[in-house]
């Protein structure tokens, strides 16, 4: 059976299952609650077998298309092949239909052959890939040199408008299936402002950004959640300087590693990450399929 997440205990159980299935994307109760507040259309579910919670799932609007919904059924390996994944997917599909959505999307670990087969069985096909990158930190990471004519400073309130314009432009350049929704970009900016960030300035204008968000569920880890440089100024070392500024700052704060995600096909940013010392981690396959009948 499945049921909707309602109580605090439900949220704790949801987080426990999610972290067991996807430890590289570990989350916390607080982060999960904040996501639900930020996404009022979002619904979370728990799945039980013999009275024990062994699965979790949910649905929310897609980042790239208003009439698409992202579903995420997750079942503990020992509880698979007993129908819970299907029931969770159907619940997400039914909710997507209520929202007026006409297509489903999901993210599947590239190494999880069973999950990929499950997605294919319901007509889901790959549309793009997201690549996790990891940067171990030493306590004495050096601060980088900054290109001539550029200043890198901590994000301040007077930079937020320029940051939003930069993020909108950067989103249009991402090699993802579909166009990133403006609401998604606004959420990115909110996360950057709520965390910590550095901006690159030229003549006082925001031309680049690198944001950092704490990931408390991954002990000692933070995520570089967005790095972007104005299109006409790329290729001048600004993005690399921003990345390495984040590395030095995070090391000084006592973090042990940084993670970031980029798109398969985003060769420019992948080269920047390589120069900044990141190495590949998990690969997440974005799949898209029809609503269940």
52-61 and 68-71 as β-strands: parallel, antiparallel, unpaired? antiparallel
Half-sphere exposure of 49 (CA within 13 A, CB side): 16
Residue 283: the pLDDT is: 94
From residue 211, alpha-carbon distances to 72, 176, 189, 195, 249 in Å are 26, 20, 9, 7, 11
Stated pTM of the model: 0.85
Angle at 56 between CA 52 and CA 61, to 5 degrees: 160
Q: Percentage of the chain surpassing pLDDT 90?
A: 79
Residue 219: the pLDDT is: 85
| Number of helical (H) and strand (E) elements in the chain, helices listed first | 8, 13
Give me the architecture of the 133-282 domain, per CATH: 3-Layer(aba) Sandwich (3.40)
103-109 and 68-71 as β-strands: parallel, antiparallel, unpaired? parallel
Question: In 3-state terms, the chain is what percent helix, strand and coil (to 5)?
Answer: 40, 30, 30
The residue whose two tokens read 């109580």 is: 7
Asked if domains 2-122 and 133-282 share a fold, the reply is yes
**Of how many residues is the chain composed?**
293
pLDDT in tens, 123-174: 999 999 999 999 999 999 999 999 999 999 999 999 999 999 999 999 888 8
Residue 264: the pLDDT is: 81
Is the CB of residue 289 less than 8 Å from the CB of residue 124? yes
pLDDT-flagged residues of the chain (< 70): 66, 177-178
Give me the architecture of the 2-122 domain, per CATH: 3-Layer(aba) Sandwich (3.40)
Residue 187: the pLDDT is: 86
Residue 218: the pLDDT is: 85
Residue 177: the pLDDT is: 66
Cβ atoms within 10 A of the Cβ of 149, count? 12
Q: Give the span between the Cα atoms of 261 and 250, in whole angstroms.
A: 17
What are the residue boundaries of the structural domains of the chain, listed by start? 2-122, 133-282
């Amino acid at each position: 059976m499945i049921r909707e997440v309602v109580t605090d205990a439900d949220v704790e159980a949801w987080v426990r299952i999610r972290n067991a299935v996807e430890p590289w994307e570990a989350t916390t109760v607080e982060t999960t609650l904040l996501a639900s507040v930020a996404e009022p259309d979002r619904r979370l579910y728990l799945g039980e077998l013999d009275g024990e919670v062994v699965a979790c799932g949910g649905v929310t609007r897609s980042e790239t298309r208003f009439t698409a919904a992202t579903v995420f059924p997750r079942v503990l390996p020992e509880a698979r092949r007993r129908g819970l994944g299907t029931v969770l997917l159907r619940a997400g599909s039914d909710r997507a239909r209520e929202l007026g959505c006409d297509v489903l999307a999901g993210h599947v670990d590239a190494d999880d052959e069973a999950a990929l087969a499950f997605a294919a069985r319901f007509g889901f096909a790959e549309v793009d890939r997201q690549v996790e990158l990891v940067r171990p930190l030493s306590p004495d990471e050096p601060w980088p040199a900054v290109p001539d004519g550029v200043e890198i400073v901590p994000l301040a309130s007077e930079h937020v408008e320029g940051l939003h314009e930069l993020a909108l432009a950067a989103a249009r350049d991402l090699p993802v299936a579909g166009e990133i929704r403006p609401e998604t970009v606004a959420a990115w900016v909110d996360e950057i402002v709520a965390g910590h960030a550095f901006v690159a300035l030229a003549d006082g204008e925001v031309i680049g950004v690198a944001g950092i968000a704490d990931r408390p569920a991954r002990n000692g880890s933070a995520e570089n959640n967005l790095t972007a440089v104005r299109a006409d100024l790329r290729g001048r070392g600004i993005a690399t300087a921003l990345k390495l500024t984040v590395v030095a700052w995070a090391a000084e704060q006592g973090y042990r590693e940084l993670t970031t995600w980029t798109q398969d096909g985003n060769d420019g940013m992948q080269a920047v990450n390589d120069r900044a010392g990141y190495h590949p981690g998990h690969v997440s396959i974005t799949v898209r399929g029809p609503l269940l009948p």
